[in-house]
Every structure is written in C-alpha cells, then in structure tokens.
Amino acid sequence: MKKAFLVAVFTLIAAVPADAQEGVKLFRPARVFDGEQMHTEWVVVVESRHIIYAGDASGFDETGAGQIFEMENSTLLPGLIEGHSHILLHPYNETTWDDQVLKESEAERVARAVNHARNSLMAGITTMRDLGSEGAGYADVGIRDSINRGIIPGPRLLVAGKAIVATGSYGPKGFHEGVDVPLGAETADGYDDLVRVVRSQIGRNIDFVKVYADYRWGPDGTAAATFTQSELATIVEVADSSGRAVVAHASTAEAMKRAILAGVETIEHGDGATRETYKLMREHDVALCPTLAAGDAIAQYGGWKKGVDPEPARITAKRKSFTEALDAGVTICFGGDVGVYPHGDNVRELEMMVEYGMDADDALRSATSINADLFRIADKVGRISKGMLADMIAVQGDPTSDISALRNIEVVIKDGKIVRQ
C-alpha cells in the first residue's frame, strides 16, 4: 500500500467529517458478503454514488483511491432491505393500534415517523418497503419524498399509501353504528369501486398496492377471507397496468390461495398456510414475508414471558409453518412488521428466522439480494457489484456464523455517503 494515501482506521465516532465524503473510497474488510456469497481478500471501491469495483484486491490499482478504509474484523454487505415496516406506527405496548389511529394527530405520527426513519437507517436498513400508513393517509408518500430530497435522513422507502380493505373488514371497530371512526385503510368493493380506488392510490404516487385479503371477521372472531377471487384479480389488473405490484396481507389458506391466483407478489404473515398453499406459492413464484417478530412481540405484549412461560400455541404453530415453508422451498422475504416492535430493531426478525430453522446466509440473502429482486429494485441495490448504488453496511464479526453480528454496526453508507461511522 502506498503511504501517500490517507489510511482511515475505523473507530466508532459520532460525527462523520465532511471530507470523508469526498473522492474515491476503498474498503478493505475481512469479508464481503455480496448479497449472494461471502468473499475474502476483496476490496470494494466507491466513487460518488456508485460501486466502481468489487472483487479481488489484486484487481484494483489502489493509487486511484483517495481514502482507504482498513476494516480488519468486519464484514461488508449490502445495506439491508426491510420488507415489511409501518413507519407511521410505534410499538403497541406503548400505545395500542386503535389509539394510534384514533387519537394521535397526523402531525404527531409524522414526527414519530421522522425518528423511525432515522433509527432504521442507523440500524443498517438502507431500503424499506412500508406496508400501509394505517390511518395516516398518504403521509408515507410525503416521508419517502422528504428522504429522497435530503430533508430528513432515512432509508429509500417503497410505500403503499392507504392500503385497501373490504367494507366491514378493518379497524378500529366495535363502535356504535352512529359513530364514524377513521379507518386504518381505504375501503373499496366490487369492480367499479376497486378500479377507482386503486387508480386514485396510483395517482397519489404510491409504489405498490397493499390489500388485506382476510380479516378476523369470521363468526367466531377468527380470520376469514374478505375479497372475492375476481375482486383481487381486478386490483392486480389495475395495479399491474400501471407497472405496480400488489402485496397481500393473508393469514388463512383460503385468502392466500385467492391472492396467489390473483397474481400478488408477496404474501404477508401467511400463518395458516398448508402444504398446498406453499406448493401454489412456488408454482406462481410468490414469496412469503413471514413477520415472525411481530407475532412474537404481540404475544409478549399479551403477557407471555418469553423464556419463562411455556410457548403459546400460536407461536409454536408459526414456528412449524415457517419450517414447512423452508422445506417447501418457498422464497422467503425478510419482513418483520417492524413498528409493532421498535423501528431500528429490524434484526430481530432475522434472528428469529435463524432461530426457526433458516441458515444465516439464507437469511442474509433474503435481507439483501432476494428482497431487491422481489421489490424490482435489483438494478440499483441489494448486491455489492460494479455499477450498483453504494448502499452498504459494515458490521463487526461474521453474520453468516452469528446473525446477531448485524447489530454491531460500524458503518452505514447510503448512496455513496457515509451516514454512520
């Protein structure tokens, strides 16, 4: 190495000096996970917003590097892509979902979301798919645009806006019929109404459509399907013609089946899946976002003392159904329903994916290349390779041997800028 060049040895400091943002940056970590495989003896070189080299150290002439970052014990990997967040929600043990929707002003919710966006980015989430504003209108669209314009720090956001529900099938509910309450999503039914509502959401510049394919409105309070097969097909047809995907909340096998046949891109939750459901998901190339951490958090908010009390039946069933999804070879999206638990604690979902039987390197693929492929952004992010945007994180240790190493964030780089060091 030529001594004439600045050698920056990584230490945890609060502020990122302005001159650290300039020039060509060369990163020499112990390991590089490129979104698919782990490599050693690699360097990754960033110029302006992009990765200009990623490969064997011998293949790049260091004399061109303005700064060299020696990261002896670190793993460099693509910035993580959270697949299921609600930036406008905060943990339900702080305030119930009903009270957030009914009592918090939109200003308060947006103020909280600004903090949530920053916390997510600092935790290494450089892209986040946000699955519905839950009663906060199109605030998610405005937050996404504010991040893109550099007004506030945060991940690249893909947002759903209001999300779509069938009449009678969403909350807050349980009020006298004379009381008009604001819903956590937008109601629409039947062909004409669905066409109009999907188009109006598209017109507000959402990135994709979120639909609730089932809801806890069965006669005994259990989940049951909401939209008919043809209603779901209508939603997908209209969204698709604008180049947008549809994602479906679905917990029951019936709602999952309808959503898969309608052509949604991912199924969220999927607790009640059967072997047939998973087979259908494979045949139609639909991925599962299992949201393990949300169910776990809600059980704990309900009084379960994890590690002390016996595991609730719901958690045991979820563990089993996730294992079956892995066995069936269903594509697994990384998405935890963060917001139910604190924004910035996204790694909790990845830890649970591994705890429930997934290989750590598969979990890492889900959080990087697989989510990028699923969300149609693989031309920009999700892998460390030449030409990609420089969204990367460095962590102490090796997350393929211990997924919790993702908590030991050393550096977060978004769009070629070091945003945490």
With respect to Zn ion, which residue has the nearer C-beta, 131 or 406?
131
| 237 residue type, one letter | E
Nearer to Zn ion, 338 or 350 (CB): 338
Residue 207 binds Zn ion (CB under 5 A): no
Q: How far is the CB of 294 from Zn ion (least distance, A)?
A: 7
Cβ–Cβ under 8 Å, residues 127 and 415: no
Pairing type for strands 246-250 and 209-212 reads: parallel
- The stretch among 42-50, 279-287, 302-310, 329-337 that binds Zn ion (CB under 5 A) is 329-337
Q: How many residues does the structure list for the chain?
A: 421
Which residues in 117-146 contact Zn ion (CB under 5 A)? 131
- CB burial of residue 15 (10 Å; 0-12, 13-18, 19+): exposed
Helix (H, G, I), strand (E, B) or coil at 68: strand
Does 337 contact Zn ion by CB under 5 A? yes
Closer by beta carbon to Zn ion, 82 or else 337: 337
Q: Which of 242, 261, 228, 161 is nearest to 199 (CA)?
A: 242
Between CA 333 and CA 335 the distance in angstroms is 6
Nearer to Zn ion, 246 or 409 (CB): 246
Single out the segment in contact with Zn ion by CB under 5 A; choices: 279-287, 298-306, 334-342, 367-375. 334-342
Q: How far is the CB of 46 from Zn ion (least distance, A)?
A: 34
Binding mask 79-118 for Zn ion (x = CB under 5 A): ----------------------------------------
- For Zn ion, which stretch binds (CB under 5 A), given 195-203, 337-345, 358-366, 399-407? 337-345
Nearest distance from residue 289's CB to Zn ion, in Å?
A: 9
User: Closer to Zn ion at the Cβ: 28 or 84?
Assistant: 84
- d(Cα 286, Cα 351) in Å, to the nearest integer? 23
CA distances from 272 to 63, 249, 254, 280 (A): 57, 12, 9, 14
Closest CA to 168 of 194, 181, 187: 187
Q: CA–CA separation, 232 vs 194, rounded Å? A: 9
**Please, which residue, 189 or 337, has the CB nearer to Zn ion?**
337
**In angstroms, what is the minimal distance from the CB of 355 to Zn ion?**
21
Tell me the residue nearest to Zn ion as measured from the CB.
337
Are 74 and 410 in contact by the 8 Å Cβ rule? The answer is yes
The site string for Zn ion over 166-185 (x = CB under 5 A, - otherwise) reads --------------------
Site stretch for Zn ion (CB under 5 A), options 15-23, 25-33, 316-324, 332-340: 332-340
Residue 34 binds Zn ion, judged by CB under 5 A: no
Alpha carbon 13 to chain centroid distance? 28
Minimum distance from residue 321 beta carbon to Zn ion (Å): 17
- Residues paired with residue 165 on neighbouring β-strands, in sequence order: 187
Cα–Cα distance for residue pair 47/24, rounded to 1 Å:
5
Q: Which is nearer to Zn ion, 340 or 372 (CB)?
A: 340
Closer to Zn ion at the Cβ: 131 or 389?
A: 131
Task: Count the site residues for Zn ion by CB under 5 A.
Answer: 2
Distance between CA 61 and CA 236 in Å, rounded?
49
Phi, psi of 212 (to 5 degrees): -95, 105
Q: Please give the residue ranges that form the binding site for Zn ion (CB under 5 A).
A: 131, 337
